[in-house]
Chain A
Amino acid sequence: MQPVSATTSSPAETPRRAAIRADGVSVTYASGTEAVKNVSLTVPEGEFFGFLGPNGAGKTTTIKALVTLLDPTGGAVTVNGFDARRDRRALRGSIGYMAQETSIDLELTARENVRFACEAYGVPRGERTARIDDLLALVDLADVADDQAKTYSGGMKKRLDVATALVHRPPLVFLDEPTTGLDPKARNRLWEYFRRINEEGTTVFLTTQYLEEADQLCDRLAVIDDGRIVAEGTPAELKARVGGDVLSVDLVDADAVTVERAERVVRESGLLDGEGVVSRTDTGLSVTSQRARRVGTDLLVALRDAGILVEGFEVHSPTLDDVFLAITGVPAGERVAGANATTGAGR
């Protein structure tokens, strides 16, 4: 077993051991598709780390390389001190993994699914029954523990999936878009579980396309786009990168010609004093500027004077949606499929 080597450290942080370390990881499929390009990341023990990106950005491929489900075509991965090429079995025994798609045996009951996971991970025989009962209670499935999983709702299946990923009490859990497709109530319940295990010391690596989820849960984030990490930091740091407040303007006619004209009006108004970013959104414009609050009303007046009808507007502190827009140049709503359903992204 090889030790984890030190990475850069900041005097502001108390150094912790690296639960995950990836150095220059690349994954190129046999088809020639470069899904992950030279990704390097370090996640210290105990951190709730978010891996954020749109569909097809490389999140799942990266997580699969970290949990040994894919051999990277380049680079090195060390997880919990185990090398992903040399110490695969030990690495697998030291992590929990919840795949993007619900991964349970639908023909087995919840109890049987969790017991299978117990046995597969070698949980000591004497501890199994109590642990199964505890976990099923934790995920609120105790009452239906002996029903076949195929009779469960989507949310119940996800919760059962969580239980099977946690059964061996791993110090590190990988969660690949765990709440995709769930209703807000089910999503909130899962968030509670994730927060709880993290508070108890478990390192969590979460991939998500929901900006709100990353904002709510994560200590630190990395944003991946087109197989490359394009930004990283705490949610607050990333928001600070946006560079000011955000004025969102919804237009009555949000066709391309009108939006382009509105953008020109804002740029040529002189109100932004040469700073700030004006971006087009699905419904109008997004103006990010240190002066957004101060000149917001004047900008709306300028638009009205130019004959452009405004349906609504909002000035707010930057959200991760805005971060995404600032980093990738594309509104999150256009890149993050389904995000609108739960986050209101794209407005």
Chain B
Amino acid sequence: MNGGAETRTATVEDPQFADSVTTTSGRTGSTAYLAEVWVNFKRWNRKALRNPFIVVGSVVQPVVFLLLFSEVFGGVVGATIGDAAGVGYLTFLVPAIVIQVALIAASSSGIGLVNDIENGMFEKVLVTPMRRSAVFVGKTLSEMIRVAVQGTLIVVLGVLLGATIETGVLGALAMLGVAVLFSVWFTAFSNVLALVTRDQESTIIGANLLTFPLLFVSSAFLPIESLPGWMQVVARLNPITYGVDATRTLMIEGWNWSALAPDLAVLVGLDVVFGAVAVFMLTRASSARV
């Protein structure tokens, strides 16, 4: 066996070779970047529409939560909470369910990526000249549309059941904006989980392991003050609390910017950090040292 053999054939040096090669990757600037985002955004939206079960299925659980919690939980603690907040339990609950919808939609984002990894599309995308961040942003924007649609469904259902929105229609839209903002960090987290595990079951289990504890150790279903002492500490560190508090401020208090601003700042910070990690992981996906 000739261990030292290497393939050598006659070639000639051409300093202008690269310049003469037809490459389609010459797109530069913000327009090109947006075009790359748009390409990915379209693909993921198209896939979502082809699979309505995911869109419909992931909204069923929050709807059930809304109905069950408002009926069962509301009867037990609703009066206390309602009195404290000055509103009915349903009005208290709707912001939490809107954030829950965002959380569930975001948690399933990684499953799509694992599918891509399994059917080879992930590599196909990575080997194109598209920027990794544009790939991530396009996919995330598509998830945001889903969050907004599902959030709208919850808000409309809540209003139909008797919930009131202090800030009106504009506030309802702002609530959806908060939900979308909230969804980004968990979408990024779910995608990171997918890139690390490269396995559907692990991605689902990993996301679910966090989803429910995070929901219950937060201000979602009960005021923080009513939680046990240690839980209050965790709840104040829990991103869900900031999402729920911001939407609840809009739902119950109005345009209270001194309450909204810190919550939104935390969400933006989380989005930037987790988004950066996701893009880093996407870039690192082409390293042998993974």
Contact = CB atoms under 8 A, between A and B. Distances in A.
Given A40-B7, A231-B5, A70 B130 contact: no
A201 B155 CA distance: 60
Interface string B12-31: 11111111111111110000
Nearest to A123: B24
Interface in B13-72: 13-27, 32, 35-36, 38-39, 42-43, 46-47, 50-51
A302 to B, nearest CB: 30
A303 interface: no
B290 interface: yes
Contacts of B13: 3-6, 17
B289 A171 contact: no
Nearest to B284: A71
Interface stretch (A114-122, A177-185, A206-214, A271-279): A114-122
A145 interface: no
Interface size band for A: 35 or more
A329 B24 contact: no
A70 B288 contact: yes
B2 interface: yes
A15 B7 contact: no
Contacts of A4: 11, 13-14, 17
Given A42-B9, A105-B47, A108-B43, A164 B124 contact: yes
B11 A121 contact: no
| Interface SS majority for chain B | loop
A97 B10 contact: no
Contacts of A89: 25, 129, 131
A233 to B, nearest CB: 8
A120 B5 contact: no
Given A89-B25, A93-B26, A171-B21, A101 B120 contact: yes
Contacts of A320: none
A8 B22 contact: no
Contacts of A305: none
A143 interface: no
Nearest to A8: B8
B47 A13 contact: no
B8 A16 contact: no
Interface in B119-146: 119-121, 123-131
Interface in B238-290: 286-290
A67 interface: yes
Contact of A90 (B6, B20, B25, B126): B25
B213 interface: no
Contacts of B23: 80, 90, 93-94
A42 B8 CA distance: 5
A229 B6 contact: yes
A327 B3 CA distance: 10
A329 B80 CA distance: 83
B55 to A, nearest CB: 13
Max chain A Cβ within 10 angstroms of own Cβ: one of B8, B124, B131, B286: B124
Interface of A: 1-10, 13-18, 21, 27-30, 39-44, 47, 67-73, 80-82, 87, 89-90, 92-95, 97, 99, 101-108, 112, 116-117, 119-123, 148, 164, 168-171, 220, 222, 225, 228-232, 327-329
Give 4 closest A-B pairs by Cβ, nearest first: A93-B25, A103-B120, A81-B18, A81-B17
12 contacts: A8-B9, A9-B11, A29-B288, A42-B8, A69-B127, A71-B288, A80-B17, A81-B21, A102-B120, A105-B43, A107-B47, A108-B46
Given A69-B123, A71-B288, A82-B21, 4 more contacts: A17-B11, A80-B18, A120-B130, A170-B22
